[in-house]
Structure formats: C-alpha cells, structure tokens
C-alpha cells in the first residue's frame, strides 16, 4: 500500500494564485520529502522536512508537517505557468531509512 | 559523474525479448533505487540497494524482473520475456544515506515500449 497519498489528484489554477497540495502517510517517519516531475521523466527534489520541524520555506514553497495527523502540505505561492508539473511526496519506508515510497502525485496545471 | 545517468533513454522491443536497463549513480552514493512509472501514474517501487546489504527486492512484480549492482556503482535492471504491460518509464535514483535525511537524485529514466 502507498505510504504517501497526495490530494488532490489534479489541480488547475490561474497564474498568480496559490496552489496547495496535501500528503498523508501511514507510519511514523523521521522526514518527508517533496519532489517535482516535469513531462514524466526524472524527479527533482524540492524540499525535505524533518519530523521535529513543523514548517519550512524555500523561495515560493512552504511545507508544513503535522506528525500527529500524519500529514504534510506543500504550498506554492504566486504560481507561474512554469510551475505546471506533477508533485509527489515521499517518505522512507522504514520510517527513517530504506527505500523511498512515493505517493501517486498531484498534477498541477497553472494557466497563464 | 555530475548526476544520475540512465541508458538507453528510449527502448523499443518486441514482446518476448529480454531488455537491460542501465543506471550510473552519483559517485559515492551508497543507496540506489529503481522505480517504474506507467503513463499518468505514480512511482512504483521495484528494488533498493544500500551498500553491501542484501537488496530489498520486495517491489519486483515478477520473476521476470531482476537487478544487480556492482559494489556501489552501476546497476542493471533486466526484464526477461517482456510483455506489453512492462511498457513504462523506468527511473533510477541514488542517495547518500550515510548523511542523515538525504534527498534522492533521479536520472531522466528509460522509456520502455514493448510492441
């Protein structure tokens, strides 16, 4: 079964709007990561948040982590057409190590 | 190398043939992952190598799939007697878990089409 599950599956917004994507997971973890994928090829790491962190920022990205609810959110502020991509969350299978388990992703479309 | 390299970039093969996909991880990365991604779907875990430990093969879908890794370098994913359902992008990633909480670096994948 999937360790991480993103929602929504698809999101369509206008340029300049904010995009929020959510991820839920099942087991205890020591970190959660978000990745971006363009055009069905290699994924690019965006941000990693540790279990003792509640919020983290990187440029226009803001990630939150709620370990009590086993959930995380990724917020992209002031979206641009170039943000159009699929976004995945990933967690270590064993909680702290081992292979990364990815969710099914959120497909974001930002319209100019 | 500068990043994870996968070859070939694209592969078209006839049903029933064997294929080999190659992954060159980032030098020094002890962990290596293989994933499969069907069109429009998420990443499906296949196999995980970590240093000299026994690989985690729990994601391999059938005995037609196998993978090897030479030390902490190149890995080869082999699919025997390919089926049309094997058509997908196969992604390889590496990371350095000697450092706590590290990110995975992905190659650009091999797009396999079985006709």
Contact A90, A102 (CB under 8 A): yes
> Across all residues in chain B, what is the average pLDDT?
92
Predicted pLDDT of residue B88: 97
- Cα–Cα distance, B33 to B15 (Å, whole number): 26
Contact A43, B91 (CB under 8 A): yes
Q: Is the pLDDT of residue B83 over 70?
A: yes
- Indicate the residue of B42, B59, B89 with minimum beta-carbon distance to A88: B42
Predicted pLDDT of residue B47: 94
Cis amide leading into B107 (omega within 30): no
The pLDDT averaged over each successive group of 10 residues in chain A (112 residues) is: 71 96 90 90 92 96 96 97 95 73 92 94
Predicted pLDDT of residue A84: 97
Residue range B21-56, pLDDT digits in tens? 999 999 989 899 999 999 888 899 999 998 888 899
Q: Give the minimum alpha-carbon distance from A101 to chain B in angstroms, rounded to a whole number.
A: 7
Mutate one of B46, B104, B109, B112 to test the A interface: name it (highest A CB count within 10 A): B104
Residue that the structure tokens 């226009």 belong to = A60
Mutate one of A99, A106, A109 to test the B interface: name it (highest B CB count within 10 A): A99
Collapsed DSSP state (helix, strand, coil) of residue A82 = helix
User: Quick one: pLDDT band at residue B99, thresholds 50, 70, 90?
Assistant: low
For residue B36, the chain A residues in CB contact (below 8 A) are none
Give the pair of three-digit tokens for residue A55.
């919020």
Predicted pLDDT of residue A96: 59
A11: left (phi over 0), alpha (psi -120 to 50) or beta: beta
Predicted pLDDT of residue A41: 81
Predicted pLDDT of residue A88: 94
């Amino acid at each position: 079964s999937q360790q991480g599950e993103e929602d929504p599956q698809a999101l369509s917004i206008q340029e300049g709007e904010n995009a929020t994507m959510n991820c839920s997971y099942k087991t205890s973890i020591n970190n959660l990561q978000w990745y971006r994928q363009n055009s069905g090829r290699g994924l690019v790491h965006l941000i990693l948040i540790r279990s003792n962190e509640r919020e983290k920022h990187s440029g226009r990205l803001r990630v939150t982590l709620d370990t009590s609810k086993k959930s995380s959110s990724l917020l992209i502020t002031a979206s641009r057409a170039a943000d159009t991509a699929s976004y995945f969350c990933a967690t270590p299978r064993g909680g702290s190590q081992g292979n990364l388990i990815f969710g099914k992703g959120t497909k974001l479309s930002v319209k100019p | 190398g500068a990043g994870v390299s996968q070859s070939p970039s694209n592969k078209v093969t006839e049903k029933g043939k064997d294929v080999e996909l190659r992954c060159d991880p980032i030098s020094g990365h002890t962990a290596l992952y293989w994933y499969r991604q069907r069109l429009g779907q998420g990443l499906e875990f296949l196999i995980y190598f970590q240093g000299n430990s026994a690989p985690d093969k729990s994601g391999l879908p059938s005995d037609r799939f196998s993978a090897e890794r030479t030390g902490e370098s190149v890995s080869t994913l082999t699919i025997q007697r390919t089926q049309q359902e094997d058509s997908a992008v196969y992604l390889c990633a590496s990371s350095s878990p000697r450092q706590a909480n590290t990110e995975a670096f992905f190659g650009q994948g091999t797009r396999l089409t079985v006709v």
